[in-house]
Structure 1
Amino acid sequence: MTLRALLIGAQTYGLSGVHADVALMADVLGTRGFTDLRTCTEGDATYGGITEAMSRLRTETRPGDGVVVYYSGHGALLGDLQYLVPVDLDDTTPTDFRGYLAEELTAAVRELRQRTPNLTVILDCCHSGGAVREVAYQSGRWVLKSVESRAVAQDAGRARAAVLARPGDPLVPGVVRLTASQQHDSAYEAVLRPGKGRQGVFTAALAELLGPNTRPGVPWSVLIARVRDRIKQQQVRQWPDAGGPSGRLPFSLDEPDGLERLPLVRRNGRFVVPGGAVFGLGAADRVSMVFPGGSATHRGAETSIPATVDEMKAGDALLRPTPPADARPSADDLHTVELPLGAYALAVRVHDRRHVLIEADAPFADALRKEIARCPRLAVTEDAQDAFATVRAQNGTCEVLNPDGLPFRAPSVTAQAVPSQLIALLEELARGERVRLLRDPEGPSRLAADLDVRIEARHPAPGGDWRELSTAGEQLYDGDHYRVTVTNHSGVPLYFWVIGVGLSGRTALVTNDQPSGYRLEPYGDEHYGTRTTPAVTIYWPSDVPEQGPRPETIHVLVGDRAMDLGGLASREACKRSVRTAGPTVQALLQEVWEGTRDQMLDVGQEFRYRLWTVHADALPSTEPELPSTDPEGPRA
């Protein structure tokens, strides 16, 4: 296995820190074991040079290699035309557009992904050429890494993009993508150290946290949250993000354990789980705060401190630690301790547990009950009306049935394979059920903002028209498409997410290209007060029997601040229940599993949100097969 990296730096239109960014990333990757470091800068960073370098990287990559594609420079988003800015952009002619299109990057990444699953894309640039600049950034210290609309012909670029676009294609699976800013926001370079030249703010922070002093075992999701902290401390309005399987450890396919880790922050001396209501927490729930070793306050192994949800403030959960007398740090220390890199919370016992009915004989039933008792979000019931899932073991096999008597997954597993496999499946299904039942909040957590939300669907047949979906009673078939449009009529920026709970019970952050939310500008702003998602295709996963109907849920969550909601998604990326059509540079990722989110929030800023939901029945394309009532099963 070889670790390879292509480092592209296009220093154009007032940027002066791009070459320093490339050199810094080369140093960092060298310490991480990368031996094949190739750069594409200065005269090589033309449209043709970037295209050739990507092609050569693809040709020379071998199965099992680890690959990084890094870009520093300007980015542009002009209407629907999105591109990176090579050094020869001004050589564009009416028939030869020299921008490196989003569609071209996506196609190159798709081909690289066919060579190796270990692929990371890092983009330090703006994705919005028309972003509004802040006055504080006009002083000369900060340089916007976005290019304003150049006097170049764009028609050839649009024509090339139309040829490359492949509507209906799934996203490129399993690619970690780190971006310096949100899709319609800005990235900057600045003089960050006295006597040094300019550097990309994002690259500098990322390089610092990837350095040799970083504690091992920290996934991308944690690192990118701390990158946000570093950038915010510099008073820069820039929001980096990580999409795709960002629960992975850097530059590998390894992931920490699959526990449902919750974000943990400090605010006004209190420990807080931001967005705790969305993650299923309520007053008096019990959690465990986990502090990794190696910080200035507590050394060595991880320290776990029990805590209780003391109160819900808007959509956030405020915690009250209850450490044992001999705990380190002590209760007094907890009032002042800073959160170390990788701190998080784990649910221990929550109020909203999913109930499981067990139809099996001992000792199997006893073993399963014992395992369920250890799960924070599961409980055993004896009432079939109260069960979200029934575990039925008979004739040497075991299956998990939904309330309609249909198996959640196929094939059935043998009784000898449980309880570990069953517990993992039940926990995933419980997460899906919890997310499916999210409700529009009332009280102080409810967002007070004027906005419109429209959820539409259509059949894939030629000429099929978009129709608005009602909140319940809809039927959607394998292959149907849906999309979401949100319009902000308020005077403040808002963020929205689309969350799907599929017919298989798996959850997906449909807007996974920007897990921290699609930004909507205030009403009257000329840019992006209305956003429409790409079309999403509903399909029947191969491991779900073609029996229906089955529930399919679409949530549109609108909040008052950016917040990473990737932790709501199921971990099994290869068996998703939705996929997005029309891949773009923001849509390089397949599924989202954010192992830990640790965000630095403004003091006094609680999360407020609204929720719009469509509950539909999903049906296979063929006539649905009803479950048999014969206890011996269906006969041929």
Structure 2
Amino acid sequence: MTLRAVLIGAQTYGLSGVHADVELMRRVLADRGFTDLDVRTGRRARYSGITEGMARLRSVVRPGDGVVIYYSGHGGLSDGLQYLVPVDMDESSSTDFRGYLAEELTAAVRALSAVTRNITCVLDSCHSGGAVREAAYESGRWALKSVRLPRVPPDAGLARAALLAGSDDPLVPNVVRLTACEQHGSAYEAELRPGSGRQGVFTAALADLLDASVARPVPWTTLVARARDRIKQQQVLQWPDAGGPSGRLPFSLEEPAEPERLPLLRREGRFRIPGGALFGLGPEDEVRMVFPDDTAQDGGRETSVPATVEEMRGGDAVLRARRTSFRPQGDELSSALVPPGSYALAVRVHDRRQVLIDAVGPFADALREELVRSPRLAETLEANAAFAVVRVRDGRPEVLDRAGLPVRRPTDPTYSNASAVMALLDELARGERVRWLRDPQDSSRLDAGPDVLFETRRSTGYGGWRVIRPMGERLYDGDLYRVTVHNRAGTPLYFWVLGVGLSGRTALVTNDQPSGYRTEPHTHRATAPVRVYWPGDVPERGPRPETIHLIVGDRRMDLSALASREARDRSAHLTAPALGALLQEVWDGARDQQMDGGEEFHYRVWTVHADALPRPRQADA
């Protein structure tokens, strides 16, 4: 296996830190074992140089190789086009558009994914209209000077984009996507230390964290969360995010099995889990607050503090620490902020699902020991109270759902031992809880009432979109659905689509923007088409429940912890825009830790409960 990277730095239109970004990432990747490092700066960052670099990478990559695509510079979003900005952008003409299109990046990454599954794409640029990555100037450390790209004829770019991608093309699977800001947001460069010269704020934070975690198994999701906090504590209104299978360890396919990490903040002297109601928390539930310390000599350690949910304020869970004599990082906890990368873990929640164990012997005893330690599961002796039944037939364990159907094929490796069965039950319990998520009736309810439309289309491709009924709809393997939100309020709203599939796995369907689709006042926005998927490890017996939730909230919120680990890997197959995903995810800078006015998260939920069937629609005559 060879680790390969193409590092593109287009230093244009007022930027001065791009080359420093590329050199920093080159050094970080070399320290991580990358030996094939193709640096594209200066004239090599022209449009032809970028396409040449991507073509070269495709020609040398081999199965099992690890691949990184890194870009630092401006990005464009105008005239219906989304693109990176090469150094020869201003040489564009009506017949020769020099922007490197999102669709071209899609095609290049898709070609790589046909050879290797280990792909990471890092984009340090912003793309708000024609003003993309802003440069900080001497009038203030974080002062802005908007940089507008020269007006170039879009005709050739539009024609090229039309040839490369269709509206129903799926996202490229297996691509970890790390981006510096949202589609209409800004990314920054600045002089982070006196005399050091300017560099990208996101690149600097990510590189520092990669260095600090080189000897520790820290997944991308955690690294990017820490980068968010560091950037926010520098008073920069920029919010990075991670999409795709971002639970992986950096530059590998390994994804550690960890419990879901919940966001943690401190406001008005109290610790909170924003959106705790969505994660199933309620009064008297038990959690652990975890505070990392990246300054430790051994490469970092964590301090764990037990806490109880004391009350719910809006959709947030307010915590009461069960001891107070702790100082994870000096006196930082006495301030308005928590240490970068802090999070919470559920230890025991009120909404515990019941499991019936129809077995005896060592396997049953080991499973009962596992159940005692689970925050979401408990044993029951009553069959009608169980959401799942574990039985042993012919010496092999099996898990059945409420309808008595096996949830996995008998030969599935999840049945290998009690711990593996427990992991499956825990995933199913999470899915069951998310499946019955409700529109809140208390103070967490969102006052704004957007118009919502669920639609479906046949997998055969003929016939148009039609409205989905909230209950009783039949969806077949391969069918498509989409959701449209019309914001009639006077303030922006954010929305997410969560799917609980027929397998019981949960997926953040809007994975291309994990922290929420922003919908401006009096506008509407639709998801790309989503394909109903029958997993290969589920017996083709049905019907099985398929649930679609639309959550609309009044602020950004990272809901990626609601997704099953395996579903995060598969989510790239579910949504279907052309690779806007590589250029349009990330928060708008409204960080929970420093929100004005003490606002809580308010939300509403719209749901479709459908029956999923394995055979295509045309066969159901």
| TM norm. shorter chain > 0.5 | yes
**What SS does the corresponding residue of 2:443 show, helix, strand or coil?**
helix
Secondary structure of 2:58's aligned partner: helix
Deviations 1:373-401 (A, max 9, x none): 22110111222222211112223232211
1:397 touches 1:415 (CA, 8 Å); kept in 2? no
Q: Look up the match of 1:52.
A: 52
**What secondary structure is seen at the aligned counterpart in 2 of 1:370?**
helix
User: Does residue 1:483 correspond to 2:443, yes or no?
Assistant: no
In structure 2, C-alpha distance between the alignment counterparts of 1:372 and 1:282, rounded to whole Å: 21
In structure 1, the residue matched to 2:501 is 502
Matches within 5 A, 1:524-603: 529-573=523-567, 579-586=574-581, 600-602=593-595
Matches within 5 A, 1:321-336: 321-323=321-323
Alignment partner of 1:98 is 2:93: no
Which segment is superposed worse, 433-442 or 444-453?
Answer: 444-453
2: distance between equivalents of 1:269 and 1:234? Answer: 21
Structure 2 letter corresponding to 1:241:
D
Instruction: Verify: 1:274 aligned to 2:274, yes or no.
Output: yes
Aligned to 2:121: 121
Counterpart mapping for 1:2-13 below 5 A: 2-13=2-13
Q: Secondary structure at the match of 2:404?
A: coil
Instruction: Give secondary structure in 1 for the equivalent of 2:536.
Output: coil
2:620 pairs with 1:621: no
Distance 1:415 1:90 in 2: 56
Cα displacement (A) at 1:5: 2.3
- For the aligned residue pairs, the C-alpha RMSD in angstroms reads 3.4
Partner of 1:357: 356
Flag the 1:502–1:26 CA change in 2: closer, same or farther, 3 A: same
Asked if 2 retains the 8 angstrom alpha-carbon contact of 1:285 and 1:351, the reply is yes
Q: Which residue of 2 aligns with 1:631?
A: none
- Which residue type is aligned with residue 383 of structure 1? E
Report the Cα distance in structure 2 between the residues aligned to 1:415 and 1:447, rounded to whole angstroms: 40
Whether the 8 Å contact between 1:144 and 1:186 is mirrored in structure 2 is no
1:287 matched residue in structure 2: 287
Residue aligned with 1:445, SS: coil
The residue that corresponds to 2:78 in the other structure is 78
In structure 2, relative to structure 1, the CA distance for the partners of 1:279 and 1:601 (3 Å cut) is farther
- 1:198-209 to structure 2, matched below 5 A, reads 198-209=198-209
**Alpha-carbon spacing, 1:419–1:589, altered in 2? closer, same or farther (3 Å):** farther
Q: Match for 2:41: what amino acid? A: T
Report percent identity of matched pairs. 63
Q: 1:12 to 1:292 in 2, by over 3 A?
A: closer
Deviation at 1:460, TM superposition (A): 2.9
- CA distance 1:17–1:296, change in 2 (3 Å): closer
In 2: Cα distance, 1:227 partner to 1:575 partner:
25
Runs of 5+ in structure 1 lacking a partner? 524-528, 593-597, 626-636
The change in CA–CA distance for 1:454 and 1:146 in structure 2 (over 3 A counts) is: farther
Q: Quick one: structure 1 residues 251 and 142, their matched pair in 2 at CA, closer, same or farther if it must change by over 3 Å?
A: farther
1:589-631 alpha-carbon deviations (Å, 9 max, x no partner): 99x9xxxxx9644262321111111111111226999xxxxxx
Structure 1 equivalent of residue 156 of structure 2: 156
Whole-Å separation in 2 of the counterparts to 1:276 and 1:24: 38
Residues 232-241 or 536-545, more deviating: 232-241
What is the alpha-carbon distance in structure 1 between the residues aligned to residue 176 and residue 331 of structure 2?
40
Cα distance between partner residues in 2 of 1:376 and 1:497 = 25
Deviations 1:448-475 (A, max 9, x none): 2242222211113344111222321211
- Quick one: structure 1 residues 92 and 117, their matched pair in 2 at CA, closer, same or farther if it must change by over 3 Å? same
What residue number does 2:379 align with? 380
Q: Distance in 1 between matches of 2:252 and 2:469?
A: 43
Greater mean alpha carbon deviation, residues 363-372 or residues 97-106: 363-372
2:177–2:582: 8 Å Cα contact kept in structure 1?
A: no
Change (3 A) 1:472 1:324: same
AA aligned to 1:14 is G
Residues 76, 398 of structure 1: CA spacing in aligned structure 2 closer, same or farther, 3 A cutoff?
A: same
Whole-Å Cα distance in 2 between the matches of residues 415 and 428 of structure 1? 11
Q: TM-score with structure 1 length normalisation?
A: 0.87
- The runs of 5 or more residues in structure 2 that have no matched partner are none
- SS at 2:211's partner residue? coil
Distance 2:231 2:266 in 1: 17
**Structure 1 residues 393 and 106, CA gap change in structure 2 (3 angstroms):** same
Find the aligned partners of 2:451 and 2:21 in 1 and give their Cα distance. Answer: 42
Corresponding residue for 1:634? none
User: What is the one-letter code of the residue matched to 1:470?
Assistant: R
Distance 1:166 1:415, change over 3 A: closer
Separation in 2, partners of 1:372, 1:238: 42
Change (3 A) 1:600 1:244: farther
Deviation digits for residues 488-515 of structure 1 (CA, Å, limit 9, x no counterpart): 2222222111111111111111111111
Are 2:189 and 2:200, in contact at CA under 8 Å, matched by a contact in 1?
yes
- The superposition leaves residues 178-213 of structure 1 with CA deviations (integer Å, 9 ceiling, x where unpaired) of 111112222233344444543223223323333358
CA shift at 1:88, angstroms? 2.0
Provide closer, same or farther for how the CA distance between residues 338 and 582 of structure 1 changes in structure 2, counting only shifts above 3 A.
Answer: closer
- The whole-number CA distance in structure 2 between the counterparts of 1:589 and 1:482 is 21
Task: Find the counterpart in structure 2 of residue 629 from structure 1.
Answer: none
Tell whether the 8 Å contact from 2:167 to 2:577 is kept in structure 1 after alignment. Answer: yes
Single out whichever of 125-134 and 504-513 deviates more from structure 2. Answer: 125-134
TM-aligned CA deviation for residue 218 of structure 1:
2.7
| Amino acid in the other structure paired with 2:202 | F
Cα 1:310/1:331, change in 2 over 3 Å: farther
Q: Distance in 2 between matches of 1:181 and 1:501?
A: 28
Secondary structure, in 3 states, of the residue corresponding to 1:382?
A: coil
Task: Give the distance between the partners of 2:518 and 2:604, measured in 1 at CA.
Answer: 15
2:445 partner letter: R
Q: Which residue of 2 aligns with 1:223?
A: 223
Aligned to 2:400: 401
Q: How many residues are treated as equivalent by the alignment? A: 611
Shift of 1:125: 1.1
Partner of 2:245: 245
Q: Is the CA contact 2:552–2:604 (under 8 Å) kept in the aligned structure 1?
A: yes
